[in-house]
Chain A
């Protein structure tokens, strides 16, 4: 297998391109992770929101080109509104990291939905947090929600995935879908949006307002399971 960007080969009269896994998704999301991310964005349509994505901790990841995709099994919604302040972000990263260790997870990604509909590029905050996460998890990705495609029916996946290449965050070809089971994710997310479950979604900001608010969102996790 050849790695790196597309290389074309000539074989007799035919030419075929061998791509590395640039075309295959190196990131997948479970329904629970996808759902909670969208519910967070739906709860605060007038704000920027952000959060973390966690994967199961594996003792060693194979470093060959056609590795197994990173599977984001859960998402922890962080803040809404002003995202560019440091102290609470640090608190959140510490607490969530501890929780991850207790649950054999690792913080492996970051998502953000910007304030304005047509704004789908990662900004300085996104890049900084994602870089921080990469220090601990080299294959961390940065996901930006494309607000303009966000509908109640969830007809299409609305995530843009950025990966770190040569010191820049580069957008991955987003024609593939990034969910473990897209049909299930679409169905369940649409159902939860319809029933306004986002009103009960808890992010870290809500937790800081009242410690009884649980940012692991057990109730929503249960709803997702019930609908599976």
Chain B
């Protein structure tokens, strides 16, 4: 296989595995790969058709989406996975009723089809029906309690509705099953901070610190530690000891932040705005 097409193939794989939504680039690379190098792709071509089709929908390239879809339909005529793609195209055309009918037919055939259920929830989201989306997603999670992506989606829906307590609950589920994931820790801390109140601030400071322990380059965690400790230290409700401790934490965080910016200055060569 020529190195160019191998490089393109690797790019697409990386974007697929890491779930990037850089649809314009996927369309650029994918379209060329399909048009010029299809013969070299082997069985990979089907997953690439799927990836490019979805990206094409994002870029309003219905022509490209249709041609990918046709290839997939031809190869996998009775596939639910392909049917879901047909549904996604209907969604992109805002034909939500037709899309829902399609997903319902998949679910009639296979009630455990999680992809179809998620698309139905996505439709509710697209229509601005956040309350219904939240309700459906909760029902889904009662059945599929281990679906991390769904818990994360639910936490985001709650955050957008300013229901921080429920968002925190979702993130707690995620942290329980992924105790080493610094991002969940850090997001949980942000939610607690936003909820406000002394108790939540202290919790947020603890989780920012935890996120930092798991990944000492997480700038959000570092900034969060500084902000939460500063707020606690400034609160009139805390004891002298708590105040003293938090002043110390904030000072430590500030030093680390300044150090990080100094390293950055050396790397970039220009002065940056500091605290």
Contacts and interface: CB of A to CB of B under 8 A. Distances in A.
Interface residues of A, number: 25
- Where chain B touches its partner, the secondary structure class is helix
Contact of B274 (A82, A98, A119): A98
A212 interface: yes
Interface in B246-275: 260-261, 263-264, 267-268, 270, 272-275
Contact of B128 (A87, A96, A102, A116): A116
A1 B24 CA distance: 53
B158 to A, nearest CB: 10
Interface string A191-228: 00000100000000000110110100000000000000
Contacts of A45: 58
A196 B196 CA distance: 40
Contacts of A8: none
Interface string A97-112: 0110010000000000
A46 interface: yes
A99 B58 CA distance: 36
B194 A214 contact: no
A89 to B, nearest CB: 9
A208 B260 CA distance: 11
B194 A84 contact: yes
B272 A211 contact: yes
Contact of B275 (A98, A124, A208): A98
B227 A90 contact: yes
Contacts, number: 66
Contacts of B260: 211
B58 A102 contact: no
B160 interface: yes
B224 A211 contact: no
A127 to B, nearest CB: 12
Contacts of B273: 95-96, 98-99, 102
B116 interface: no
A196 B23 CA distance: 13
A68 to B, nearest CB: 28
B191 A85 contact: yes
Contact of B194 (A86, A95, A208): A86
B223 interface: yes
Interface string B140-162: 00000000000000001001101
Contacts of A2: none
21 contacts: A46-B21, A82-B159, A84-B159, A84-B194, A85-B190, A85-B194, A86-B196, A87-B190, A87-B193, A87-B194, A87-B220, A87-B227, A88-B190, A94-B275, A98-B273, A99-B273, A116-B126, A119-B128, A209-B219, A211-B219, A211-B264
Interface of B: 21, 24, 58, 126, 128, 156, 159-160, 162, 189-191, 193-194, 196, 204, 219-220, 223-224, 227-228, 260-261, 263-264, 267-268, 270, 272-275
Q: Which 5 A-B pairs have the closest CB atoms?
A: A99-B273, A211-B264, A86-B194, A85-B190, A87-B193
